[in-house]
Amino acid sequence: MAGMTGKTGTRDMTGTAGSRHAQVGQVGQVGQVGQVGKKRRGRILYSLLAVMLLLGVVPIVVTSELLTSNSQNYLEFGERELQLDQTLSIRDQIRLYLQAAHQQVVAIAKTFGLGNDPRAVAARIASVGDGLFDYVGEQSRIQAIVVFDRDGHYQAAGPTVAPQLQKYLYEESFSQVLEQGYYVSPPFVDSDVLYDTLVVLAAPITTAPVLAGGEPERAGVVSAVVSLKPIQDLVKSKSLEGRECFVVDGRGSLVAHSDPKTLFEARDFSGRTMVRAFQEAKGQVSSFIPFVQTDAGKTTHMLGTHTSIGERGSSVPLLRNLDWGVIVQAELDKVNSKVRQMERTSYTIAVAAALLALGLGVVFARRLSQPIAQLADGARKLAQGDFSHAIEVKSANEIGELADTFNKMTGEIKKYIDRLHKAAEENKQMFLGTVGALAAAIDAKDPYTRGHSERVARYAEQIAQVLALPEAEIERVRISALMHDVGKIGIEDRILGKAGPLTDDEYEVMKTHTTKGAVIMAQVPHLKDLIPGMKYHHENVDGSGYPEGLKGDAIPYSAKIVSVADTFDAMTTNRPYQKAMEITYVFERMRSFVGKKFEKPIVEALITAYEEGRIRLAAPVRKPEVATPVRPVPPVPPVPVGAPAVPVASGSVAGSKA
């Protein structure tokens, strides 16, 4: 409504003929400033000649910028495609390697799980002896292997591994497989014995079910230490010049790196920007991300891509829960190195041309640029509402005359805008005063609703503020609430002021006040935004309201707010048919109508406003008492246990005529 009121004020002011003529006359005087001020002589011809020299430099600079900008965009797009292809290629080959290693472990487990007798499995494990060494060695991806029976007895082959790796190999793999079926340990960098990145893969030894259709029984576990050196070699070979490529697990620890030294010196990459982005993506998508990397106080602009290696829909259990990712990143300057070289060449040419032009026209450029800069600065301040800045130009030519004219114009505009602001504020206050008087006159027709519209407007405004609506919308809601009962001016006094119950016919007449109010407001085009909040404030979200039986989102939001505020006032003030209710009961009752009459966020906003002290009740409240209904009562939701029954009419929760 603030914006609407402003428009009304402007229209009224500009509609005055005398005012318009006066303004035209003032503007017309601006052209005569040159005769009043100091006589300006001279021409800017020579200054223009200097500008024309500079025009020879501008096309070179603009063309250079366009070419470099387009080239940079193409290079960045190409880098994005290159990094995506690189990460996908590495991902696919890592998947194949891990899948092959997993299948090898599963195949070993199957050789021990023949038959359906777990005791036979234990016997095979106990008797395997040196046969396990057939699976390990320098030419095999398996570096060490342990085979457990279900009681934890095991046979092992391979070199002694580090204590942390022993924990994965002997403890976690055994317990995890018997509980869940398969196990993948975190990657482990062995810089002492094998000088390799290792991972433990484990699979269950299962026996055939004794009964047809039964579940296989887990009779043991095969746990193997698998070398990731092929993955390290792959990442190193796939790394392109000027790009860093690495693989991390879900914790941000390195699995492989394009620089092997980094793998053994600084494994924790969890603080890297791209690693955090990969962790936040949770394996959902591949992403190309421009970012800034800070290392040892040095800031570098980077481009990076991350891709998840795991595959949730994979038929291989290992890949379904794998939280590894491959990341490729490059410095933006290296990506755009060719563009930078082209920029340097272009700028060299542009600087040479500029120096030549400046050598010929430096004197004339100063005479032209300084006054224009002052005028531009004055124009910017004028656009920002600063009318106190006067332009002081000493040039004895057309620019000096323009400066004098500009100063005169600034003063006249300031006077005009001051008058506009004053008139707009007067019109707004006049409009709001008229609206308030009309609402008060309507409320005065019924002694029990005196002040009702003002209270509803105040409650609605506080609800809208709690809901964080825009200021303009809050103003519309407030005035809609203030005018929500304006249609009662068209209701007969015998019905409006009737002390006894309304007949069905009388109630139908009373219900027309919403549409009557809409018709009244429709006569003023600038008030059309108020109509929805007035016309539909008796609609219910379940479609049981009036005048049109709107439902849910079809009801204007402003009308929903006015409905809650209207009902709250009806329940907390004395009426002929009921006493004011206790506030805790009011809130309990209004919450019971959520989804039927009200929307939950609006009711909760009302309660929040009350609890924060934004809303103060007009008079002390009393506990609700049963009253004679004003008209036949439609079914309503059940009253909360322990609360007295209160008749409810479709117009409001408390059965009011409001």
Q: Is residue 268 part of a domain?
A: no
Name the domain boundary from 185, 211, 227: 227
Residue 457 shares a structural domain with residue 599: yes
Q: Domain check: are 478 and 594 in the same one?
A: yes
Round the CA-based radius of gyration of the chain to a whole number and report it.
41
With cut-offs at 50, 70 and 90, classify the pLDDT of residue 600. Answer: very high
Lowest mean pLDDT among 38-52, 99-113, 625-639: 625-639
Confidence check: pLDDT of 40 > 70: no
Between 645 and 74, name the one with better pLDDT: 74
- CATH code for the domain in which residue 593 is found: 1.10.3210.10
Domain shared by 412 and 476, yes or no: no
Neighbouring residues of 12: CB distance < 8 A, sequence distance ≥ 6 = 423, 427
- Residue 59 domain flag: no
**Residue 219 is part of which domain span?**
113-227
- 286 and 88 in contact (C-beta within 8 Å)? yes
What pLDDT score does 445 carry?
65
Mode of pairing for the β-strands spanning 183-184 and 154-157: unpaired
How many domains are contained in the chain? 3
Domain presence at residue 596: yes
Whether 372 and 474 map to the same domain: the answer is: no
Report if residue 36 sits inside a domain. yes
What's the mean pLDDT when you consider all of the chain? 77
For residue 15, the model assigns a pLDDT of 35
pLDDT of 1: 37
Contacts of 177 (CB under 8 A, 6+ apart): 183, 202, 203, 204, 218, 221, 223
The two structure tokens encoding residue 198: 């290792």
Flag whether 320 is in a domain.
no
pLDDT of 11 reads: 34
Q: Check: CB of residue 95 under 8 Å from CB of residue 337.
A: no
Tokens of 406: 């500009």
pLDDT > 90: what percent of the chain? 24
Phi, psi torsion values for 652, nearest 5 degrees:
-160, 165
Q: Are residues 555 and 451 in the same domain?
A: yes
Residue 603: pLDDT above 60? Answer: yes
521 and 584, same domain (yes or no): yes
pLDDT tens digits for 299-353?
888 999 999 998 888 888 888 888 899 999 988 888 777 666 766 776 677 667 6
User: Does residue 509 share a domain with residue 580?
Assistant: yes
Arithmetic mean of pLDDT, 42-46 = 51
- Omega of the bond prior to 547 within 30 degrees of 0, cis? yes
Q: Considering 227, 248, 277, which residue would you say is the last residue of a domain?
A: 227
Instruction: Give the Cβ contact number of residue 340 at 10 Å.
Output: 13
**Confidence (pLDDT) at 404:** 75
Helical spans, DSSP H, in 444-488: 452-466, 471-482
Same domain as 448, residue 405: no
Say if CB 31 and CB 402 are below 8 A apart: no
pLDDT band for position 34 (cuts 50, 70, 90): very low
pLDDT class of 204 with cuts at 50, 70, 90 = very high
Last residue of one domain, picked from the residues 594, 611, 628: 611
pLDDT band at residue 601 under the 50/70/90 scheme: very high
Using a CB cutoff of 8 Å and minimum separation of 24, what contacts does 69-78 make? 71/338, 71/339, 71/342, 72/336, 72/339, 75/335, 75/336, 75/338, 75/339, 76/303, 76/332, 76/335, 76/336
Helix H segments across 202-302?
Answer: 229-238, 260-265, 273-281
pLDDT at 508: 92
- Residue 386's pLDDT is 72
pLDDT band at 554 (very low <50, low <70, confident <90, very high): very high
Give the per-residue pLDDT at 96. Answer: 92
Angle (deg, nearest 10), helices 17-28 and 398-443: 160
Would you say residue 620 has pLDDT above 80?
no
Q: What is the mean pLDDT of residues 436-451?
A: 69
Percent share of the chain, pLDDT over 70:
74
pLDDT at 199 over 80: yes
Find the mean pLDDT for residues 627-631: 40
Residues 407 and 456 occupy one common structural domain: no
| Residue 48 falls inside a structural domain | no
Same domain, 413 and 527: no
At residue 579, the pLDDT reads: 85
Task: Tell me what the mean pLDDT of segment 47-72 comes to.
Answer: 67
Note the residue count of the chain.
658
Task: Say if residue 479 is in the same domain as residue 532.
Answer: yes
- Asked if residues 406 and 37 have their Cβ atoms less than 8 Å apart, the reply is no
Determine the Cα–Cα distance for residues 307 and 84; give it in Å rounded to an integer. Answer: 8
CATH number of the domain to which 142 belongs: 3.30.450.20
* 171 in a structural domain: yes
pLDDT value of position 639: 36
Least confident window among 91-95, 417-421, 530-534, 594-598: 417-421
Predicted TM-score of the model (pTM): 0.45
Q: Is the pLDDT of residue 232 over 60?
A: yes
**Contact in structure between 601 and 578 (CB atoms under 8 Å):** no
Do residues 452 and 401 both lie within one domain?
A: no
Count of CA atoms in the C-beta half-sphere (13 A) of 74? 8
pLDDT at 424 over 90: no
pLDDT confidence tier of residue 636, bands split at 50, 70 and 90: very low
The pLDDT, as a whole number, for residue 553 is 94
Instruction: Give 242-289 pLDDT, tens digit per residue.
Output: 788 999 998 888 889 988 888 777 778 888 899 999 988 887 778 888
Let me know if residue 296 belongs to a domain: no
Average pLDDT score over residue span 129-138: 81
